């Protein structure tokens, strides 16, 4: 799964990287501990043009009676998207990219109850393009009395880098398939499904980080800093990261 990530790049830089129009609304604050129910950036296509918008993290299906349902919909398993009631409509027509600067995952430690968090990012520190789905909820009666745009992150099986940490990972899309994934007129679900595969293992690097990231009230760039497994910073003098 993916339950925490970093979104620290300015929106104009994100928009430029994804060749998208920047958001019209006020920018989201840089966040090194993005959690479910936060607003997050998504890249999607309107009128044939890519846009960078902000959506609620936790997909709220059009038929939901309350936005609270989105709390259980932060991730969508790639397997069976076309058949699952909560996701099949979005998979057919409302696909997006969730741009992130890195994400956190927790590893089980033998003989310990606590898990060790890791920060995972691209080796070249370029943004990651997570496959996502989005929806617009229009109220419990679908009458437009309330409106909420929301999104979920599509997960897949782990690659060799991620497998020692967790049995799932976000689906990371290479630039070569962005147009295909984002095109709302693309109804070839079989081909789209074949895009939802683990990223090449050499794409990612990771290091252990402080357990402080587990508390959503904690923030700041230091959360992504590497630590040694005794709890001290590997870079105490200047905070540099590998």
Residues 97-125: tens digit of each pLDDT: 999 999 999 999 888 888 999 999 999 99
Q: Give the residue numbers spanning the domain of 32.
A: 4-203
pLDDT at 90: 97
Contact 10, 27 (CB under 8 A): yes
Token pair, residue 86, equals 């909560």
Catalytic residue (choose from 2, 13, 112, 190):
2
In a domain, residue 131? The reply is yes
Contact 69, 60 (CB under 8 A): yes
Residue whose tokens read 């910073």: 233
Is 2 catalytic? The answer is yes
pLDDT digits (tens, 9 = 90+) for 170-213: 999 999 999 999 999 999 999 999 999 999 999 999 999 999 99
**Total count of domains within the chain:** 1
Q: Give the chain's end-to-end CA distance (angstroms, integer).
A: 24
Pairing of strands 128-137, 148-156: antiparallel
In a domain, residue 220? The reply is no
In a domain, residue 214? The reply is no
In a domain, residue 239? The reply is no
Q: What is the CATH number of the domain that holds 134?
A: 3.90.1680.10
Task: List alpha helices for the chain, DSSP H.
Answer: 11-17, 88-93, 178-182, 189-193
In a domain, residue 148? The reply is yes
Is 96 catalytic? The answer is no
In a domain, residue 100? The reply is yes
In a domain, residue 241? The reply is no
Question: Which 8-state DSSP code applies to residue 242?
Answer: -
Least Cα distance to 131 among 70, 194, 47 occurs for 194
Catalytic residue (choose from 21, 105, 112, 126):
105
In a domain, residue 229? The reply is no
Contact 28, 41 (CB under 8 A): yes
Angstrom CA distances, 164 to 106, 160, 168, stand at 10, 8, 10
pLDDT at 63: 95
| Element at 153 (helix H, strand E) | strand 148-156
């Amino acid at each position: 799964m993916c339950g925490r990530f970093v979104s620290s790049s300015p929106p104009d830089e994100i928009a430029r990287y994804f060749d998208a129009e920047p958001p019209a609304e006020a920018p989201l604050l840089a966040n090194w501990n993005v959690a479910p129910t936060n607003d997050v950036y998504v890249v999607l296509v309107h009128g044939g043009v890519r846009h960078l918008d902000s959506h609620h993290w936790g997909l709220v299906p059009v038929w939901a009676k309350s936005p609270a349902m989105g709390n259980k919909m932060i991730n969508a398993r790639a397997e069976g998207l076309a058949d699952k009631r909560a996701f099949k409509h979005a998979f057919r027509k409302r696909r997006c990219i969730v741009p992130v600067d890195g994400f956190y995952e927790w590893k089980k430690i033998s003989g310990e109850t606590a898990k060790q968090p890791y920060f995972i990012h691209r080796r070249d520190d370029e943004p990651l393009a997570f496959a996502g789905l989005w929806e617009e909820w229009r109220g419990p009666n679908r009458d437009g009395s309330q409106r909420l745009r929301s999104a979920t992150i599509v997960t897949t099986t782990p690659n060799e880098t991620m497998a020692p940490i967790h049995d799932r990972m976000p689906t990371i899309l290479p630039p070569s398939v962005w147009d295909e994934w984002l095109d709302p007129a693309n109804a070839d679900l079989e081909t789209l499904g074949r895009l939802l595969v683990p990223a090449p293992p050499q794409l990612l690097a990771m290091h252990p980080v402080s357990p402080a990231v587990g508390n959503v009230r904690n923030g700041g760039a230091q959360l992504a800093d590497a630590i040694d497994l005794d709890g001290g910073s590997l870079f105490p003098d200047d905070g540099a990261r590998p």
